[in-house]
Amino acid sequence: MKIKKLTLYFLSLFLLLSTFCFGNEESGGGHGHTDTIAEVMSWVVLIILPPVFLTVFWKLHVIPEEIAKERNHPQADAIHMVCLLSLLFGGLLWPIALIWAYTRPSHMYVTTIKDPDHIVDHVEKAKPKNSDGEASLT
């Protein structure tokens, strides 16, 4: 489908150029073709380049979001929001979103202590023992 759109785009561009190149023969001074080329270039710059630029700018800014979704990142929605904010700030946040999409957040497990003696038992087991079987601090 993209190839058909691209072909249609270039065909319409060719028809536009041919209309301008062969339709302006009455201009005097022998500069008809130069004026026509300049006119075609101005139309290309004014009409075709802005949508192309905006499309490329948009596609570039959603790359971190797509990477985060492919990698099943747990914070993919937040990365999506940074990508949208990056569009508003002219791309300043885009490198942050890209780095964030490639990183994995570390998991912290928080538990509540119900029995303090249980913690003391684990600390005693973890201490290194000397040859007598007693815990040593050195």
Stated pTM of the model: 0.50
Are residues 31 and 4 located together in one domain of the fold?
yes
Calpha distance 138→124 (Å, rounded): 14
Tell me the C-alpha to C-alpha distance, in Å, between residue 27 and each of 20, 32, 34, 65: 12, 6, 11, 53
What does the pLDDT read at residue 137? 56
Are residues 6 and 33 located together in one domain of the fold?
yes
Q: Please say whether the beta carbons of 87 and 64 come within 8 A.
A: no
Are residues 44 and 66 located together in one domain of the fold?
no
Are residues 11 and 43 located together in one domain of the fold?
yes
Q: How many domains does the chain have?
A: 2
Calpha distance 8→16 (Å, rounded): 12
**Residue 95 sits in which domain range?**
62-105
33 is a domain residue: yes
What does the pLDDT read at residue 93? 93
Are residues 37 and 68 located together in one domain of the fold?
no
- Nearest Cα residue to 97 out of 127, 64, 62, 134: 64
Tens-digit pLDDT profile for the chain (138 aa)?
A: 566 676 777 667 766 666 666 555 554 555 556 677 788 888 888 888 888 888 988 899 899 999 999 999 999 999 999 999 998 898 899 999 999 999 987 766 666 666 666 666 666 666 666 666 565 555
Tell me the C-alpha to C-alpha distance, in Å, between residue 135 and each of 21, 115, 121, 128: 94, 22, 12, 6
Are residues 45 and 78 located together in one domain of the fold?
no
